[in-house]
Amino acid sequence: MATVAGGKVVIFGAGGPVGAATITALKEHYTLRCTDAVALDQIVAEERRQSVTAPLPELLDAPHERTVVDVTSYDQVRAACEGMDAAINLTVLRHVLDKAFAVNTVGAYNVAKAAADAGLRRLIHTGPFHTRMGHHADHWLDHQVPDDVPLHPGDDLYALSKYLGGHITRVFAEERGLEVLTFLFCGFRPRQITPVKGGGVGPFTVSWEDSGESFLYGLRAGDMPSPYEVFFIAADTPDRKYRVDKARRLLGWQAKDTFEALYRRPAG
Amino acid sequence: MKLAITGADQPMGALLCQRLAAHHEVIPVGAAVDPGEDGVDAASYCHANLNLPPAAAAAIRGTDMIVHAQPHDPAPASGTGAEGELLERISRGTYVLLQAAMAAHVGRLILISQMRLFQDIPEQYIVTETWQPRPRPEAASLAPFMAELVCREIARTGRIEVVNLRMGTLGAADGTSGDDAVAAVQRALVLEMSEGYHWQEQHVVSGGRFLPQGA
């Protein structure tokens, strides 16, 4: 049984906004080992926000832990997995050639290998779903695109290097008995809809808060139909561009924030 | 035709450099400072770290096509971080090479990948090019698969053609002979891509379980 209803969870990339939301969602249910390439204390002290509305991570007291881990180092990743029940990989580096493959591809290899070597029950891997790649093989023209659709990253550095990491993680799931859930994200926005933000909501958007809660459902979910399952993590919007029912069926999760005020005409 | 051939410091790349030089102008490209393999023209040898865009651009300057043999038998890494180094060298190096090729308007890249990607499929099956590769969860097995994925997805954009030739161990009884390897690359240089696709793949084996039926 790969369900992780309690115990210890290591988070890689905990210093980013999804990491911050995940810490908030999991802290009362698991003992967390929060890791990032930069010390979380430094991220908070320097207010290193990804964007103006992006959350910063909470600095949790013991028994939670926080430590610096560079996912490009297998030894560091393996040590961070020691004694854990599950791992969540939120690491990403988007547009810098010198680090993109190291973090997004090699980092995925190190995390999957360490999770398998350490006997973890479940790994939640993450990546982007790019809605518009600017070539004819992307899925921008389609509707009701399902979670399991093959990604076509084109030559985009970020999309391609993460795509490779996803395939590596799939191979570990299929060959090493590690159960992997891959959560795909696209757009994020805060739960609170402010007048300044306004202006509609694009397809494939989720609130920071809902993104964090999706990991709670991912850890607690029952056995999956196959060792590697991919989920769109997004609000269910009436444009019918992307199907988000798989997360509801297999994880029991759906976004609470649907941003209806942004696509419904005001009454009267 | 002027060809840049990567992996010139390893057996497959060196063989292709040596044999194709009889018909083409060949630029041997390798990661090692010296070619190290017999038959590679040291004078034209280009030492290049393909992870670096300027080095990749310089290595392919003026070429008509590229034969990317490095993923077939990449130089092994050693020490701490060797697996990660290998994966990054092949995935990032292939990406950078393709970016350089597209910027230079090179029309086609021929990738030399590995038949080992199918070694764990039960022997009773007849494996063809339409089968999904099944790499092992090890860096050495994943590396050529990474090269394939990078090439396939970039080819899908329509900006460059890629012919993927999967070959076995050079000269092994169940691998690929030198003659077959050279002939396959020669054919790939002039291959007409089918039905508008920019990605095509072929298995090039001379014996053993992966030999095509009726061959």
Strand B2-6 versus strand B25-30 pairing type = parallel
Question: Residue holding tokens 């993460």?
Answer: A162
Q: Which of B109, B138, B156 to mutate to test the interface with A (most CBs of A within 10 A)?
A: B156
Rounded to the nearest angstrom, the minimum Cα separation between B139 and chain A is 8
Considering only CB atoms, A105 lies closest to which of B81, B88, B137, namely: B88
In the prediction, which pLDDT does A197 show? 53
Strand B161-167 versus strand A65-68 pairing type = unpaired
Residues 6+ apart with CB under 8 A from A77: A12, A69, A71, A107, A110, A111, A114
Q: CATH number of the domain at B2-204, out of 3.30.470.20, 3.40.190.290, 3.40.50.720, 3.50.50.60?
A: 3.40.50.720
A154 contact residues in B (CB cutoff 8 A): 153-154, 156-157
Q: Do A97 and B96 touch (CB under 8 A)?
A: yes
A146-188 per-position pLDDT tens digit: 999 999 999 999 999 999 999 999 999 999 999 999 999 999 9
Would you give the DSSP letter of residue A139?
Answer: S
Q: Do B153 and A101 touch (CB under 8 A)?
A: no
Tell me the residues of B at the A interface, defined by beta carbons under 8 Å apart.
53, 80-81, 83-84, 87-88, 91-92, 95-96, 98-99, 102, 135-137, 139, 142, 145-146, 149-150, 153-154, 156-159
A177 contact residues in B (CB cutoff 8 A): none
**Count of C-beta atoms within a 10 Å radius of residue A127:** 24
Domains in chain A (CATH in brackets) are 8-196+203-262 (3.40.50.720)
Q: Which of A121, A124, A111, A113 is nearest to A25 (CA)?
A: A124
Q: Which residue has the higher pLDDT, A268 or B51?
A: B51
Q: Do B139 and A109 touch (CB under 8 A)?
A: yes
A75 contact residues in B (CB cutoff 8 A): 80
Answer whether B24's CB lies under 8 Å from B44's CB: no
- Stated as kind and residue range, the H or E segment containing B137 is none
* A265 pLDDT more than 90: no
A164 contact residues in B (CB cutoff 8 A): 91, 146, 149-150
A92-143 per-position pLDDT tens digit: 998 899 999 999 999 999 999 999 999 999 999 999 999 999 998 899 999 9
Answer whether A25's CB lies under 8 Å from A218's CB: no
Rounded to the nearest angstrom, the minimum Cα separation between A95 and chain B is 13
What are B95's strand-pairing partners? none
What are A179's strand-pairing partners? A122
* B93 pLDDT more than 90: yes
pLDDT band for position A248 (cuts 50, 70, 90): very high
The token duo for A217 is: 């459902």
Domain extents in chain B:
2-204
Considering only CB atoms, B149 lies closest to which of A75, A164, A172, namely: A164
Region of A126 please: left (phi>0), alpha (psi -120 to 50) or beta: beta
* A198 pLDDT more than 60: no
In the prediction, which pLDDT does B212 show? 83
* pLDDT, average across residues B5-32: 97
* pLDDT, average across residues B158-187: 97
The token duo for A90 is: 């939120």
